[in-house]
């Protein structure tokens, strides 16, 4: 059974930083073609934030480009999302995903950006 376990969410002030982690259990992240982060704000649909391929290629939504960085540590079977210069509109539940929308999902971690 594959599980993705997110951590690192919390309350942060605008312009602050957070690092989210997603640890995979039951399957190597290297075996997944792509891993990514999505987010869902209250009253909105879940949307894609960033992704990283097996080969390390990264892609970002325009809204986070230049502020967020996705990375992976295959030895720890974990991916990360470093979030800098956070804005109130980044407030959402952040979900880790493996192998695309039809693949695996974590339970989500809340990120709240507020003064």
User: Tens digits of per-residue pLDDT, 28-59?
Assistant: 888 888 999 999 999 999 999 999 999 999 99
Rounded Cα distance, 75 and 48, in Å? 25
Q: 76: how many CB neighbours lie within 10 A of its CB? A: 12
Q: What is the pLDDT of residue 39?
A: 98
Average pLDDT on 53-79 reads 96
DSSP strand E in 8-86: where? 10-12, 18-25, 34-40, 47-53, 58-60, 68-73, 78-83
Q: What is the pLDDT of residues 82-91, one digit of tens each?
A: 999 999 999 9
Q: What is the pLDDT of residue 63?
A: 97
Q: What is the pLDDT of residue 49?
A: 98
Helix, coil or strand: residue 13: coil
Q: What is the pLDDT of residue 31?
A: 84
Q: What is the pLDDT of residue 26?
A: 87
Across all residues in the chain, what is the average pLDDT?
95
Q: What is the pLDDT of residue 29?
A: 85
Give every CB contact of residue 61 below 8 A, 6+ residues apart in sequence.
Answer: 47, 48, 49, 50
């Amino acid at each position: 059974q594959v599980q993705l376990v997110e951590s690192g969410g919390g309350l942060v002030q605008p312009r602050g930083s957070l690092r989210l982690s997603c640890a995979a259990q039951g399957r190597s992240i290297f075996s997944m073609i792509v891993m990514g982060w999505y987010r869902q704000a209250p009253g909105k649909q879940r949307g894609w934030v960033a992704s990283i391929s097996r080969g390390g290629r990264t892609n970002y939504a325009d809204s986070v480009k230049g502020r967020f960085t996705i990375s992976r540590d295959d030895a720890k079977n974990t991916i990360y999302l470093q979030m800098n210069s956070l804005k109130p509109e980044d407030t959402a539940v952040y979900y880790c995903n493996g192998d695309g929308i039809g693949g695996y999902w974590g339970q989500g971690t809340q990120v709240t950006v507020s003064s």
